[in-house]
Homo-oligomer: A and B are copies of this chain.
Amino acid sequence: MLKSGGRALLLIGCPEVPVQTSLALYLCSRLRMNGWEVVVAGTGAALKLLEVADPEGHYLSETMDLDDCIAKAVEGEIAFDICFAFMHSDAGVTYGATISSISSARIYALIYGREAEKLAEMVEYDCEKIVAKAVHNPAPLKIRLDKVMGWAA
């Protein structure tokens, strides 16, 4: 079970896979309930998908541009205790590697999409891998996430 409180980062890349928006909002909800301050860093389209899905702002709080976030983390201007790196492509794996090399945050790699298993093999940095072939159905990934985080019903 994850301890409560602290600062959490969600790193969200290109939104090609439908499960991404749903899992990101779910994570925002669960983390906030557990006392975490959550920042979501994403590409323009990824953030827009989240904002439109949460028009009354119940789940999302702080958002920032993905590249700005990486740049600020490199400069030491921002820091996090934990980071959830969403990945369904090489780009996602690379963003995760970058944050892993510049941050002392505990990293959870959420790996999904058709190539999930192949991508998981590419992730060689120190992190907790949460892997499911989910593309359209978020349930397999949510079940694994809940188990790792100790959120299982």
What is the interface of chain A, defined by CB distance below 8 A to chain B? 14-23, 25-26, 29-30, 44-46, 48-50, 52-56, 58-59, 136-139, 142
* Chain B residue with the shortest CB-CB distance to A25: B53
For A56, what are the chain B residues with a Cβ–Cβ distance below 8 Å?
29, 58-59
* Copies of this chain present: 2
A selection of 19 A-B contacts at a CB cut-off of 8 Å is: A15-B136, A16-B18, A17-B18, A18-B18, A18-B21, A19-B49, A21-B21, A21-B22, A25-B52, A25-B53, A26-B55, A30-B55, A45-B136, A49-B137, A49-B138, A52-B139, A53-B53, A53-B54, A56-B59
Partner of A53, one of B15, B21, B136, B139: B21
Partner of A55, one of B16, B20, B25, B44: B25
For A142, what are the chain B residues with a Cβ–Cβ distance below 8 Å?
52
Q: Which of A18, A23, A30, A50 gathers most chain B CB within 10 Å?
A: A18
Assembly CA distance A26 to B17 (angstroms): 19
Partner of A136, one of B16, B23, B55: B16
For A44, what are the chain B residues with a Cβ–Cβ distance below 8 Å?
137
Assembly CA distance A54 to B23 (angstroms): 10
* Chain B residue with the shortest CB-CB distance to A46: B136
For A23, what are the chain B residues with a Cβ–Cβ distance below 8 Å?
52
